[in-house]
């Protein structure tokens, strides 16, 4: 049940976070060594990174520099 609540409300919570905090969180999650994590945690990290990246793009933040 708690996992379901986290799955549903995490995108809403992320939407109200300051941009700087989201950028720092994305950088932190990028440093995770996914080979040492359990498979379900890897899925959680990937999903969280995707949600944060989508929100940053919505706010007009350039994530990748070319």
Express each pLDDT in 2-44 by its tens digit: 667 777 777 777 888 898 988 999 999 999 899 999 988 899 8
pLDDT at 35: 92
In this predicted structure, what is the pLDDT of residue 8? Answer: 74
Residue 23 in contact with residue 56, Cβ under 8 Å?
yes
Q: Which residues does 41 contact at the CB level (< 8 Å), separation at least 6? A: none
Q: How many Cα atoms occupy the beta-carbon half-sphere of 30 within 13 Å?
A: 10
Measured CA to CA in angstroms, residue 32 lies from 8, 9, 47, 55 at distances of: 23, 23, 13, 20
**CB 56 within 8 Å of CB 19:** yes
pLDDT of 61 reads 86
Ordered by start, the domain boundaries in the chain are: 2-58
The reported pLDDT for the residue numbered 66 is 56
């Amino acid at each position: 049940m708690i996992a379901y609540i986290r799955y549903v409300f995490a995108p809403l919570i992320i939407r109200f976070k300051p941009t700087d905090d989201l950028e720092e969180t994305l950088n932190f999650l990028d440093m995770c060594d996914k080979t040492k994590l359990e498979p379900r945690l890897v899925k959680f990290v990937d999903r969280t990174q995707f949600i944060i990246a989508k929100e940053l793009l919505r706010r007009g933040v350039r994530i990748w520099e070319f």
